[in-house]
Structure 1
């Protein structure tokens, strides 16, 4: 992040401030491939590139961002002659994770409650990628049921129960007040790794990949990489699924959630301990949450993206195909 703090979004993507939309999209694809964690890059750099693209690909956000930048003559958006990194960062409104040059939280919430816009536009001569009767529905699919022997496994039962509880929670507490959000359950992509996801949330240009399970009593601990329950490691597949989904949808910002359900009458159970200074709001990490914080963090991630009230029909079509809808 120290390097990103000294760079403008244009520097991060490697384009000039007068680049057009196509140049920005092409540069994003190149930069994202180079920074992919599986190809020797870092999750932090990959995140910075995604945030830069989110801002510069949205005309309104780009205008606000440019208005907050005051580059010196001859500068290309970086730390021009006579400017310190701190001054450049302040002029831009902070690091790439900052939203001060874009929207406020109140504006995020207003956008999330807006009626959905469907993209790309369609007409009788150019029908939508998804039948409108499906595109208008917010909830699709159901958790995949195991075979007879799978039902005997405690781990499989915990996953299925968790996915059912997460689907019910999101339908009740998020979809009802976020008209453009689309929840697709039981997703399995036809990629080489046969990537699966319990639930996938789509809104605007952001996708949340969600794994869920129920847990026995006892605290969990999460440091951004390792999940422990009573000191014992817990295996989960979300980081791999996030990388695979990001590959499938390179123009979206993809992040992961692990939702752990405890006692049905206590949404804030189990307790999930994190180290001092751990940034729960960071989208560069997989988030591990209980039911009590799941909706708030997911909503914040989706609504703070560009045009959060858009339903991307081609993306939704692929998600529905992966769920067998």
Structure 2
């Protein structure tokens, strides 16, 4: 049996436009992703096929990675939340696996990201937005970078943290953390220590109610169809205690549901990130193309 061509693997004609190829690639990546019932072998075939076609047809512009304002939703997109079973799994992060880079450093045709930047764990830093700097936000983001560096990046060698990412349709993401083909988007807020109950919409502390900052990852998921993307809101305490504030979910606000955001204190966030990123099919892989596109979106 002859080996299928890259075009046959993606299910497109050799005469297809680059936009059609991109859409077919995102469909195929989503269909073969190990997180969504596919196989790692087929997923790698799709990745390699798209890379081979890209080399033949000139590398894609980084600006085309994100969906443009006013553009119709891309075909094949179906948001899917992180499997609830992973929250109960005793599986430990696969931190002992050696880091692999896709494409490999020996692939001279890949020029989007240097070896030095591919090996760099933290990209970007807290910056002011607009004309005025919000010192409280800058301090909060710096504390988050320190938290993730000490408690996640040192456990998952292939994890890469990109800070200050412009969202595809406007707005910002404080932090984006990737490992393998999973991506965690993290925005932050600060609340006084104490006990809070979360009903899926607001945090209640006595008679006071606070709504976590709203942000959407749907356009980001469409832009990175090969990734399993999840959103997290980190609630920090002014006193630096990772276990404060205490956040308890109502019964009808299970964070495994697609409609309920993950709102966590620092200790909870570290635990969930290790589970989500570390239990992926290939947590030891650095997807250099995705990292390059995220860096391009840094503001």
Q: CA deviation at 1:162?
A: 2.2
Q: CA deviation at 1:304?
A: 1.9
Give the number of the structure with larger relative contact order, counting CA–CA contacts within 8 Å between residues 6 or more apart: 2
TM-score, length of structure 1 as denominator length: 0.63
Match of 1:276 among 239, 244, 251: 251
SS in 2 for 1:123: coil
Q: CA deviation at 1:147?
A: 5.2
Q: What residue in structure 2 maps to residue 164 of structure 1?
A: 142
CA–CA distance in 1 between the matches of 2:27 and 2:35? 10
| Equivalent residues of 1:51, 1:97 under 8 A apart | no
SS in 1 for 2:231: strand
Which has the larger share of helix?
A: 1
Structure 1 residues 166 and 196: CA distance shift in structure 2, 3 A: same
Q: What residue in structure 1 maps to residue 51 of structure 2?
A: none
Is 1:234 the equivalent of 2:206? no
| Equivalent residues of 1:209, 1:257 under 8 A apart | yes
Q: What residue in structure 2 maps to residue 29 of structure 1?
A: 27
Q: CA deviation at 1:266?
A: 1.8
Q: CA deviation at 1:289?
A: 0.4
Q: CA deviation at 1:214?
A: 1.7
Match of 1:119 among 102, 111, 114: 102
1:11-26 to structure 2, matched below 5 A, reads 22=10, 26=24
Match of 2:172 among 186, 196, 207: 196
CA offsets, 1:206-243, max 9 Å, x none? Answer: 1100001222344333233x0224342424133x1x11
1:262-273 to structure 2, matched below 5 A, reads 262-273=237-248
CA–CA distance in 2 between the matches of 1:21 and 1:227? 46
Q: CA deviation at 1:323?
A: 1.6
Q: What residue in structure 2 maps to residue 5 of structure 1?
A: none
Is 1:131 the equivalent of 2:129? no
| Equivalent residues of 2:105, 2:115 under 8 A apart | no
Is 1:310 the equivalent of 2:292? no
CA–CA distance in 1 between the matches of 2:288 and 2:266? 29
Structure 1 residues 213 and 233: CA distance shift in structure 2, 3 A: closer
The alignment's C-alpha RMSD in Å is: 3.4
CA–CA distance in 1 between the matches of 2:158 and 2:85? 21
Match of 1:56 among 16, 20, 38: 38
Is 1:205 the equivalent of 2:181? yes
CA–CA distance in 1 between the matches of 2:185 and 2:42? 27
CA–CA distance in 2 between the matches of 1:203 and 1:306? 10
Structure 1 residues 197 and 214: CA distance shift in structure 2, 3 A: same
| Equivalent residues of 1:195, 1:244 under 8 A apart | no
CA–CA distance in 2 between the matches of 1:299 and 1:286? 17
CA offsets, 1:27-77, max 9 Å, x none? Answer: 972897xxxxxxxxxxxxxxxx7976643141399xxxxxxxxxxxxxxxx
Q: What residue in structure 2 maps to residue 222 of structure 1?
A: 198
Unaligned runs of 5+ in 1: 1-19, 33-48, 62-95, 152-156
Structure 1 residues 272 and 21: CA distance shift in structure 2, 3 A: farther
Q: CA deviation at 1:128?
A: 4.5
Q: CA deviation at 1:286?
A: 2.4
TM-score, length of structure 2 as denominator length: 0.68
CA offsets, 1:78-129, max 9 Å, x none? Answer: xxxxxxxxxxxxxxxxxx94779xxx744x52x2332211112343642443
| Equivalent residues of 1:121, 1:128 under 8 A apart | no
CA–CA distance in 1 between the matches of 2:180 and 2:137? 28
